[in-house]
Chains A and B, each alone.
Chain A
């Protein structure tokens, strides 16, 4: 990238022209030895990355996509071992080397890593050394591969940091990784990976740990860098939205096999493998707005130990051909234009426009959600709630500025609705949820809950026994299905615990009720005696839901209840939550950071920023006609699901970072990042959350917005139309 000899000619981005390939992986196999056999983690992977192309590998957890990246880099951790295949990399001199033949830690391989292939990983904190400055690490990377003076190395590092958009690069060069924020760290990581100008960049889930606005910044940066330098990118992700944003070509993996590959538009609009189709359809983004049932894939990704015989997908496939698919493993079928799928029926276009769903209920059924009457009195009222945490530091415990996690937040939850609470990490949404359930005490304000008799119960400072009965009416579902179940109790004990300790049922009545609950969430009686370790993430989340519902609550707080799950499983759980709501008339407070999930399941949405609500309204209204600049930026940062739309879209890329809750900006907390800030009123006066009618709001109640200029600004929304179904 520096010096004429290192410039790689930028190839035409024309998708029609077959690009010369930079990396060709053929029949890559990586195994792991277990007592009594081998597990085929990668079972013959073929990948081709053309010059100046972006190839995305997509798949759910456990499909082997990260292992693929590591195998290509020859960095497989033991006990995994690469047992076969070719990895041909075209060197700078145009000669192909087979990396599979090189000593993984030998001189040649070491010089390829870093100089010919740059790498970035999901968690930059672990990839960056905490004891060396950013500059030292970059200089080391340069010195490893080139003979340059210290001064030149430093200058190139500064240039590179500047290139990746790190403000004040000369200063940052002497910073340590822990002094940077998540987004900055990922930028530094990219700078380090690219400082030697490698023609190929391998990025393993580089944005998964980041917030959506930061993710948009990083994806933009990667696109720009690719256009400038003409490098190729092998991008590994589980997020189909990111694929649609980034990829030229897609490789879909399932259980260590490539099941479908092809140009991104073709794979998205004419997927030929049932797994790809199901993956696309189970995504809430695909389903569009609320009200529609998602088409979930049955079951979960099987353990490699139980890899099905025949087509590995046949036990979850809705189109499996009995007698064929469960006995014979299909070969990849070429479909023209570089598109191929590994399925017996790949060459037949799907018979039905809508793939029959494997969900327990009928496909794509429109569910009429119970009308949330605007006149019904709210079930929960939060009035000017503040939650501050005192900070003390040092030996003498000097008081520091308190962390103002939640500031004067007011919100009313209506009975029977699903209210979404969205925002980026650190905005105070989880803190608010924990305070409603009173595992945290509020610093100010009040929380009131409507009793059966219509009276309001003040739960702000509710003491012990009354709190216990309140917590029977308001329950919580946790994010992490692994840590939220006591690993030492059986499913029956976990689900029965609230019934037991509240003295609601015992003996055989307890057993019957627990069995009924477990069936209600889609598990079987034989699961009752098992321990959580025997279940997958989705099944554990079902157990968590059964526990929450055991005491017949009125309201359930879902704290990121589906964000730890794979897309296909996420869809099952979202459907389950919706069914249970219809059956039991539950009210949900749905805390999430994933906008597509919120858009799918919520009736109303509250957008949080810096501990306060900036916008509140009907889901459709908020998504299609946002009135607050932050909402609009958040929406446009979310990846669009349609690869064809990415070129022409207008997006607001937010600069900067979420403010530190210990030092919130004056006036409107969003003003340092707001494009519309006026520099006077915005800086000095905090805007109130008020209803703002808009021209577009045809009869719908107006959004409540905390912005001085909400009535006058024209803000982009996301396209209201879901992409045309394939």
Chain B
């Protein structure tokens, strides 16, 4: 370590670093992880979609319309005769010789697309009524439609459905993680702190839970969810089911940290200083593994998201009219459908992007989590 008295041009920097606390050091290390920072931004974008789903949606995602079934994605033309004028062509619905429905764009009929356009009414934070949307068609005319990613069988805008699905899928993950975090930290903490019989019992429970194959377990539990429950009830039931399995990992991590820290000299010395047990836990132990917990949590999130998607895809999780990535992908279950209407596979993209982003972000956090690691 540097002698702070030594005359040095970088003295100011060294001083600042010397007085830098844990979070500043973690941040410094995290920043060096380019990919993780980029992924962090991606995650932020995802959650802003969660918070302002209606703003990003183009149209109401629940109203079916037989007239608009399975329209392919509409291409946006940004310029008109060299001038900035984003527009799409109106689609014309026809039946071909085989009586198949085909949609062809009609270059003569231009529909103007504008940003911050007016559309259906919604409430910001559930309070402030507004009808602004990120993107929309000018003029509220039923004939003017914008399907960025096409429509599904029932003629609903896939883009808007994906926006709402993001909200459902990512909140299931968040709530699920919170639940399993609570369970994991509580049980893992008790296990690591008290040891003995309590520890043994909790560890055996964890082993049993972990030894049950997850898919059949979920299927069993999901099958037990009554068919007549409302969308919200099912939603919470599924969250609880998913977190019931994933808390074990967190509990193990927390227990391990407690056990390791109990032996650390600085914890022993806190005890000798006369700190009470609670103070040792909350002032000395928890801060020293909080960053680890955050990292592990970030790495658990994509597992949750994937679980929800898998369950819903199999028809065991959220059910229509609820919208989630898994529910949307259900429509792509059939190979033929995929061949003819490939845009129905679009919901797989955010799943992949979100899971990758969470994983890279979590990895970066984990590496940065312990700025005091002496490697």
Interface residues of A (CB under 8 A from B): 299-300, 302-303, 305-306, 308, 315, 437, 439, 468, 471-472, 475-476, 478-480, 482-488, 490, 497-498, 501-502, 526-527, 529-531, 533-536, 539, 544, 547
Which chain B residues lie closer than 8 Å to A482 at the CB level?
Answer: 374
Q: Out of B25, B266, B274, name the residue touching A468 (CB < 8 Å).
A: B274
A478-B3 in contact (CB<8A): no
Bound-state Cα–Cα, A453 to B359, Å: 64
* Least CB separation from A465: chain B residue: B274
Bound-state Cα–Cα, A275 to B61, Å: 79
Ranked nearest first, the 8 interchain pairs of A and B with the lowest CB-CB distance are A534-B18, A484-B265, A498-B273, A487-B372, A530-B18, A536-B1, A483-B265, A486-B266
Bound-state Cα–Cα, A536 to B18, Å: 12
Known pairs A471-B272, A502-B274; A533 contacts B372 (CB<8 A): yes
Q: Out of A308, A498, A530, A534, name the residue touching B6 (CB < 8 Å).
A: A308
Known pairs A484-B266, A485-B266, A486-B266; A302 contacts B272 (CB<8 A): no
Bound-state Cα–Cα, A529 to B21, Å: 10
Bound-state Cα–Cα, A437 to B273, Å: 11
B273-A497 in contact (CB<8A): yes
Shortest distance from the beta carbon of A447 to any chain B beta carbon, whole Å? 15
Contacts of B142-173 to chain A: CB distance below 8 A? none
* Least CB separation from B17: chain A residue: A534
Which chain A residues lie closer than 8 Å to B8 at the CB level?
Answer: 306
Which chain B residues lie closer than 8 Å to A486 at the CB level?
Answer: 266, 270, 284, 288
Shortest distance from the beta carbon of A534 to any chain B beta carbon, whole Å? 3
B4-A526 in contact (CB<8A): yes
Q: Out of B10, B17, B19, B275, name the residue touching A501 (CB < 8 Å).
A: B275
A531-B4 in contact (CB<8A): no
Q: Out of A480, A484, A502, A531, name the residue touching B21 (CB < 8 Å).
A: A531
* In the complex, B77 has a CB within 8 A of chain A: no
A476-B272 in contact (CB<8A): yes
- Residues 260-276 of chain B, each 1 if its beta carbon lies under 8 Å from chain A, else 0: 00001110111111111
Contacts of B334-366 to chain A: CB distance below 8 A? none
- Not counting A439-B272, A502-B273, a sample of 9 additional A-B residue pairs whose C-beta atoms are within 8 angstroms of each other reads A300-B1, A439-B268, A471-B273, A478-B269, A487-B266, A490-B21, A497-B273, A501-B273, A530-B18
Bound-state Cα–Cα, A527 to B18, Å: 9
* Least CB separation from A559: chain B residue: B265
Shortest distance from the beta carbon of B29 to any chain A beta carbon, whole Å? 12
B270-A497 in contact (CB<8A): yes
* In the complex, B279 has a CB within 8 A of chain A: yes
Shortest distance from the beta carbon of B167 to any chain A beta carbon, whole Å? 37
* In the complex, B2 has a CB within 8 A of chain A: yes
Shortest distance from the beta carbon of B129 to any chain A beta carbon, whole Å? 47
Which chain A residues lie closer than 8 Å to B18 at the CB level?
Answer: 530-531, 533-534
* Least CB separation from A469: chain B residue: B274
Interface residues of B (CB under 8 A from A): 1-4, 6, 8, 10, 14, 17-22, 25, 264-266, 268-276, 279, 284, 287-288, 371-372, 374
* Least CB separation from B285: chain A residue: A486
Known pairs A471-B274, A486-B284, A488-B288; A306 contacts B269 (CB<8 A): no
Which chain A residues lie closer than 8 Å to B22 at the CB level?
Answer: 487-488, 531
Shortest distance from the beta carbon of A345 to any chain B beta carbon, whole Å? 23
B271-A501 in contact (CB<8A): no
Known pairs A302-B3, A531-B20; A498 contacts B274 (CB<8 A): yes
| Interface pairs (21), CB distance under 8 Å | A303-B1, A305-B10, A315-B6, A437-B272, A439-B272, A468-B274, A476-B272, A478-B265, A478-B269, A480-B265, A483-B265, A486-B266, A487-B372, A497-B273, A498-B274, A533-B1, A533-B18, A534-B1, A534-B19, A536-B1, A539-B1
Q: Out of A479, A488, A527, A544, name the residue touching B287 (CB < 8 Å).
A: A488
Bound-state Cα–Cα, A299 to B374, Å: 23
Inter-chain CB contacts under 8 Å: number: 96
A306-B2 in contact (CB<8A): yes
Which of the listed residues B10, B270, B273 has the most CB atoms from chain A within 10 Å of its own CB? Answer: B273
Which of the listed residues B2, B264, B284, B371 has the most CB atoms from chain A within 10 Å of its own CB? Answer: B2
Which chain A residues lie closer than 8 Å to B271 at the CB level?
Answer: 439
A531-B264 in contact (CB<8A): no
B6-A302 in contact (CB<8A): yes
Shortest distance from the beta carbon of A263 to any chain B beta carbon, whole Å? 34
Which chain A residues lie closer than 8 Å to B3 at the CB level?
Answer: 299-300, 302, 306, 315
Shortest distance from the beta carbon of A645 to any chain B beta carbon, whole Å? 37
B274-A501 in contact (CB<8A): yes
B2-A302 in contact (CB<8A): yes
Bound-state Cα–Cα, A721 to B270, Å: 43
Shortest distance from the beta carbon of B295 to any chain A beta carbon, whole Å? 16
B374-A501 in contact (CB<8A): no
Bound-state Cα–Cα, A526 to B5, Å: 11
A488-B270 in contact (CB<8A): no
Which chain A residues lie closer than 8 Å to B20 at the CB level?
Answer: 531
Which chain A residues lie closer than 8 Å to B274 at the CB level?
Answer: 468, 471-472, 498, 501-502
Known pairs A302-B6, A488-B21, A501-B274; A483 contacts B264 (CB<8 A): yes
Bound-state Cα–Cα, A480 to B17, Å: 23
Bound-state Cα–Cα, A487 to B3, Å: 19
Bound-state Cα–Cα, A318 to B6, Å: 16
* Least CB separation from B275: chain A residue: A501
Bound-state Cα–Cα, A479 to B268, Å: 13
* Least CB separation from B264: chain A residue: A483
Shortest distance from the beta carbon of B285 to any chain A beta carbon, whole Å? 10
B269-A547 in contact (CB<8A): yes
Which of the listed residues A487, A526, A539 has the most CB atoms from chain B within 10 Å of its own CB? Answer: A487
A305-B2 in contact (CB<8A): yes
Bound-state Cα–Cα, A388 to B150, Å: 75
Which chain B residues lie closer than 8 Å to A531 at the CB level?
Answer: 18-22
Bound-state Cα–Cα, A299 to B4, Å: 11
Which chain A residues lie closer than 8 Å to B371 at the CB level?
Answer: 533
Known pairs A302-B6, A534-B17; A501 contacts B279 (CB<8 A): yes
* Least CB separation from A299: chain B residue: B3
Bound-state Cα–Cα, A248 to B2, Å: 35
A547-B266 in contact (CB<8A): no
Bound-state Cα–Cα, A228 to B306, Å: 69
A535-B1 in contact (CB<8A): yes
Which chain B residues lie closer than 8 Å to A480 at the CB level?
Answer: 265
Bound-state Cα–Cα, A53 to B176, Å: 69
B288-A306 in contact (CB<8A): no
Which chain B residues lie closer than 8 Å to A439 at the CB level?
Answer: 268, 271-272
B2-A303 in contact (CB<8A): yes
Which chain B residues lie closer than 8 Å to A536 at the CB level?
Answer: 1
Shortest distance from the beta carbon of B187 to any chain A beta carbon, whole Å? 23
Bound-state Cα–Cα, A291 to B186, Å: 55
Bound-state Cα–Cα, A527 to B19, Å: 9
Bound-state Cα–Cα, A300 to B374, Å: 20
Bound-state Cα–Cα, A486 to B279, Å: 13
Which chain A residues lie closer than 8 Å to B265 at the CB level?
Answer: 478-480, 483-484
Bound-state Cα–Cα, A485 to B265, Å: 8
Which chain A residues lie closer than 8 Å to B269 at the CB level?
Answer: 476, 478, 484, 544, 547
Bound-state Cα–Cα, A484 to B263, Å: 11
Known pairs A303-B2, A306-B2, A502-B274; A483 contacts B266 (CB<8 A): yes
Which chain A residues lie closer than 8 Å to B268 at the CB level?
Answer: 439, 478
B6-A306 in contact (CB<8A): yes
Bound-state Cα–Cα, A488 to B371, Å: 10
Bound-state Cα–Cα, A439 to B288, Å: 22
Which of the listed residues B4, B20, B272, B276 has the most CB atoms from chain A within 10 Å of its own CB? Answer: B272
Which chain B residues lie closer than 8 Å to A299 at the CB level?
Answer: 3
Which chain B residues lie closer than 8 Å to A527 at the CB level?
Answer: 4
Which chain B residues lie closer than 8 Å to A437 at the CB level?
Answer: 272
Shortest distance from the beta carbon of B345 to any chain A beta carbon, whole Å? 44
Which of the listed residues B4, B268, B269, B372 has the most CB atoms from chain A within 10 Å of its own CB? Answer: B269
Bound-state Cα–Cα, A674 to B98, Å: 105
Shortest distance from the beta carbon of B1 to any chain A beta carbon, whole Å? 4
* Least CB separation from A480: chain B residue: B265
* Least CB separation from A497: chain B residue: B273
Bound-state Cα–Cα, A405 to B89, Å: 87
